[in-house]
Amino acid sequence: MDDYLKEALEIVKAQASVRTMNEEEITSMVQKLATDIRAIAEGGTLDAAEESAVDPKKAIREKSVLCCVCGKSFKVLTKKHLASHDLTPDEYREKFGYKKKLPLVCKSLQRERRKKMKEMKLWTKRGKNKK
């Protein structure tokens, strides 16, 4: 096993000790880090690797959303986080090929919000206030 892979494993091991990660996240993070560490060690840059840390099609998951720029896991990709990458939510969606109105939220939270809004029935309350 080369040194780059060992270093990547140590970093991912530390990450996994402080947050829950599934097998796919661990594997992809190890691969990405090993590649990035090798590129840095060989005097290269991370521009090519940094283009997309995560496959955009797999970024929105059941219990998490992965940032396609840095690979970090969230429940919601906030404006503040995207601003740290000099992107607005609209620019982020466009850059990674998402639909304009796609919520940058994990699927479970999206379902919870939809259910709560249906229970509130705001459309009926609005109509009653006009009369």
pLDDT at residue 1, rounded to an integer: 53
Q: Do 69 and 115 belong together in one domain?
A: yes
Q: Do 59 and 47 belong together in one domain?
A: no
pLDDT at residue 77, rounded to an integer: 94
**What residues does 66 pair with on adjacent strands?**
73
pLDDT at residue 115, rounded to an integer: 94
Question: Domain limits at 79?
Answer: 54-131
Confidence grade of residue 51 (pLDDT, cut at 50, 70, 90): low
Using CA atoms, how far apart are residues 131 and 71, in angstroms rounded to an integer? 51
Confidence grade of residue 65 (pLDDT, cut at 50, 70, 90): very high
Whether pTM exceeds 0.85: no
Instruction: Read off φ and ψ for residue 44, nearest 5 degrees.
Output: -80, -175
Q: Do 71 and 91 belong together in one domain?
A: yes
Confidence grade of residue 48 (pLDDT, cut at 50, 70, 90): very low
104 and 65 Cβ atoms separated by less than 8 Å = yes
CATH number at residue 84: 1.10.10.1550
